[in-house]
Amino acid sequence: MWFHEWCFIESNADLFTDLIYTLGVDGVEVNEAISLNDDYIERIKPCHDLIFLFKQKQTNTSNENLVKGARLHEICFGQQIYKNVCPIQAILSVLLDCTREDLNFGATLTEFKEYSQKFHSKGLGRFHTKMKGIALSNHEPIRDVHNRFAKLQLIHGAIPEDNEWLDIARPIVQRHIQKFIEDKIHFRLMVIVSEPDKKYERELKQVLADSSLTDDERNAQKSN
C-alpha cells in the first residue's frame, strides 16, 4: 500500500458508526434513512446531516450554491482530492462543524480541526476548500483508521506437503484478531466443518477397514 492510498470501504451505516467511534468520536451514530417524510424527520431529531451517497455520472452536475457569503469560509468543508475519500470526508465535514455539547471529537479529530482552521481565510477564496481536502487526504492517523475498515483481500499461498493448511492459516488469523482487539473492532470468527454424522461415518468406515487388515498390511501402512 503506497503512502497516499485510501482503500475502498462499503457505504454501510453500521460501518461508518464503528469508523467514527474508532476515531474517538462519542455522542453520535450513523443510521440508514428510511424516509424523508415529516414524521420520520421529527422522530430522528436532532439530526445533524443528510449524507447522500451515489455513483456520479458526468451529467450529474449541480449549479446550486447552497452556502453563500461569509459562511462559506466558516464551515469545515474540504474538496475531495483522492479516490475513495468521499464517505469519510462527508461525515467529518459534518462532525467538525457540529457544536453540540454532547459530542466529543476525541484527540485525533480535535487536533485535525485545530490544524484545518488555518485555512478558514477569505483571502484564499475557493482554494481554501482544496487545502482542507489535501489536509484530510494526507492525515495519516485518519487514513489508517479508514483503511482498517476496507475489505481484506484473499491471501493465497503454497502449503508444504508435510504441513496441514490450518498450521499456515491460524497464525495469520490470530494476528488479525489481535489487531482488531487492540483497535476495539468487533469481529466474528466462523468455521466450516463437516456434519457430525458424516464425520463419524467416515471414522467408523476407517475403523472397520483397519480391523480387516493383517498385521503385515498394518505395518506396511505405518511405514508409508
Locate the domains of the chain by residue range: 13-148
pTM over 0.75: no
Is the CA virtual torsion 127, 130, 131, 132 positive or negative? Answer: positive
**The domain at 13-148 falls in which architecture?**
3-Layer(aba) Sandwich (3.40)
Whole-number pLDDT of residue 78: 63
pLDDT per 10-residue tile (average), the chain, 224 residues = 70 88 89 87 85 64 51 60 79 80 85 76 57 80 88 65 76 84 79 69 77 64 57
Q: Which amino acid is at 57?
A: K
**How far is Cα 9 from Cα 145, in angstroms, rounded to an integer?**
11
Q: Is residue 125 left, alpha or beta, with left meaning phi > 0 and alpha meaning psi from -120 to 50?
A: left
**pLDDT, position 3:** 45
